Structure 1
Amino acid sequence: MILVTGGLGFIGSHTVRALLDMGEGCVLVQRRSAAVPSALTGQDVAVERTDITDLAALLGIGDRHKISGIVHLAGSMPWPPGADQPVEATRTALGGLLNIVQAARNWGVSRIGVASTIGIYRGQPVEGALREDLPLSMTSGHLIPTFKKIGELLTGHLSDATGIDIVNYRISGTWGPGDPHGALFFAAPELVRAAAQGTEPELSTLPAPAYAEDALDLCYVKDTGRAIALLQLADRLNHRTYNVGSGRATTNAELITAIKHAVPDARIDLPTGGTGSSDHLDITRLQQDTGFRPAYDTERAVADYLAWLRAGNER
């Protein structure tokens, strides 16, 4: 069975669904719940209520399940930012990652996948495709890419030292059913939600104003989950780091056009004046080693997300 930390979360739940569709059983590790979601009832799924920072409790999972692989999607970083005890919060965050590697070693697991982020490329003057072999800046403007960079360095060392295949997933802007963030990093999920609800989008939480020309590698969460599942189950991987995304930049204008095709009276127009940056992930490695191709273009993703929201789901 594949152990998935954060398996009831946004990307985690879709990764679990993809693994199940590929014939793998899953053990979901969560801190707050031990209940199997109704959508997974009758599937080869178990939920373990365990905090990965508790090594003994984590190792105990291996006494109850035969773990063959690990997908580590839970955040190995102090969260939320601004903790009162930053040193202890950092120790705890990195300790959770180390515990995952220790558990893999104890259980004889040959591959661990670890979530990273497109944000680690920030600070480099690159336009166009972002490749995994690009040099990275030693600075970071946000907590998440800071700890993802640290994590990638640690897992590189630990992979060499333990012989475990530890693979980093540099995940692009992921959106779709179950998105808990809204307009935290980019506008896409809030634009769709506003159209579904017949309201104007609430974009005040973005780090900067949104413009029609703004572009990002947007990957629909069902594609993200499938890509991660393919990386976990591949017979052989030729690299330790893989970009996980759509492989193209999608502008807000393109997204708005797709939304208005489905909801013509949606009040979601954005002003012009953005940078029009075309940064996106090069997913050649992912495609070559797993055969992955995105199944959701912008229009299909919008239609699927709107259907989800209109079915009564809040996000």
Structure 2
Amino acid sequence: MILVTGGLGFIGSHTVRALLDLGEDCVVVQRSVRELPAVLAGTRVAVERADIADREALLAVGRRHAITGIVHLAGSYPWPPVPEAPVEATRQALDGLLNIAQAAQDWGVRRLGLASTIGVYGGADHDAPLREDAPLSMSAPVSIPTFKKVGELLGGFLADTTGIDIVNYRISGTWGPLGHRDPFFAAPALVHAAARGTAPDLSHLMGPAFAEDGLDLAYVKDTGRAIALLQLADKLNHRTYNVGSGRVTTNAQLIAAIRKVVPDARVGLPTGGEASHMVLDISRLAEDTGYRAEYDTERAAADYIAWLRAGHAG
């Protein structure tokens, strides 16, 4: 049985779905119990209410389930930042990560997967696909890549000292059903606007959006399947894996895909933007798991719009 923290969330629920489809049983840990998301409707998933920052509550889960692996997707970082209590927020974030590692050791799990982010490559040369062995900057402009870098370093130390197979998943920009308005890219907002027949509200973005802006965007169903394959692989040859599409998707390409489904969608953006795009090299992932993306931009846009038009909120 695989334990997935944050398993009822965006990427988590799709990862659980993929694990179930591959024949695994799953238990998810959430701070607050809620109904299974629609992608898990009709499945058998054990749901445990526990805060990963509460070590005893987390370890108790392992006394009720025979857990053989852990996928840690719950946010081990303060986001948005907590300016009134930054030290306490940092302590809670690190406690969650260390408690998960403690659980992995106590339960003797086969593999612990830790969610990281494409954001750790900030400041790296973007002229070529980003490889896992690229040198990383010691700084980051926001909390998420900062804490993910810390998590990767701690995970490496704990893997070396405990013998646990700890694997980092550097996840690219991800969009799709159950997603949210992302502050770093416009794709979810553009799709939601097309499905509703409105102009997109991009006020949540960290900066203005342009047609030529692009990023390695992965459809969440592909992201979840990639993580599941990494968790279940008989052997992994590396400690860190990029999880993405391996290609650039620009806003212009996404808008063209949206308009194939909704020809009159009001999702145009001004020209301009960055000429350099962050793209992940996913050769490690493909070689060690056989992973291949199933959703190109057109198929992903059509699937997401159909999901929203079926009455789903996210």
Q: Distance in 1 between matches of 2:263 and 2:36?
A: 39
| Matching residue of 2:265 | 266
Could you tell me which amino acid in structure 1 is paired with residue 294 of structure 2? A
C-alpha spacing 1:228/1:176, structure 2 compared with 1 (3 Å): same
Q: Distance in 2 between matches of 1:271 and 1:72?
A: 38
Q: What's the offset of the Cα at 1:2? A: 0.2
Could you tell me which amino acid in structure 2 is paired with residue 18 of structure 1? A
Q: What's the offset of the Cα at 1:183? A: 4.2
Matched, 1:107 2:107: yes
| Matching residue of 1:196 | 195
Q: Provide TM-score, normalisation by structure 2.
A: 0.97
Structure 1: 5+ residue stretches without partners: none
| Matching residue of 1:163 | 163
> In percent, how many aligned pairs have the same letter?
69
C-alpha spacing 1:258/1:101, structure 2 compared with 1 (3 Å): same
Q: Distance in 2 between matches of 1:75 and 1:281?
A: 22
3-state SS in 2 of match to 1:179: coil
Q: CA RMSD in A?
A: 1.2
| Matching residue of 2:86 | 86
Q: Distance in 1 between matches of 2:182 and 2:228?
A: 27
For each residue in 1:242-268, what CA deviation from the matched residue of structure 2 results, as whole angstroms up to 9, or x when unmatched? Answer: 000000011111110011111110011
Q: Distance in 1 between matches of 2:38 and 2:154?
A: 37
| Matching residue of 1:52 | 52
Conserved 8 A contact 1:259-1:299: yes
Q: Distance in 2 between matches of 1:183 and 1:229?
A: 23
Conserved 8 A contact 1:34-1:48: no
Could you tell me which amino acid in structure 2 is paired with residue 101 of structure 1? A
| Matching residue of 1:62 | 62
Structure 2: 5+ residue stretches without partners: none
Q: Distance in 1 between matches of 2:94 and 2:201?
A: 34
C-alpha spacing 1:83/1:284, structure 2 compared with 1 (3 Å): same
Could you tell me which amino acid in structure 2 is paired with residue 196 of structure 1? A
Query: Which stretch shows the higher mean deviation, 125-134 or 50-59?
Result: 125-134
Q: What's the offset of the Cα at 1:44? A: 3.3
| Matching residue of 1:228 | 227
| Matching residue of 2:184 | 185
- Deviant stretches of 4+, over 3 Å: 34-42
Q: What's the offset of the Cα at 1:82? A: 2.5
Q: Provide TM-score, normalisation by structure 1.
A: 0.97
C-alpha spacing 1:302/1:67, structure 2 compared with 1 (3 Å): same
Conserved 8 A contact 2:216-2:247: yes
| Matching residue of 2:299 | 300
Q: What's the offset of the Cα at 1:91? A: 1.1
3-state SS in 1 of match to 2:168: strand
Map 1:1-315; keep pairs closer than 5 Å.
1-33=1-33, 35-37=35-37, 40=40, 42-180=42-180, 182-315=181-314
C-alpha spacing 1:212/1:95, structure 2 compared with 1 (3 Å): same
Q: What's the offset of the Cα at 1:127? A: 1.5
3-state SS in 2 of match to 1:303: helix
Report the number of matched residues.
314
Query: Which stretch shows the higher mean deviation, 86-95 or 161-170?
Result: 86-95
Conserved 8 A contact 1:8-1:30: yes
Q: What's the offset of the Cα at 1:98? A: 0.4
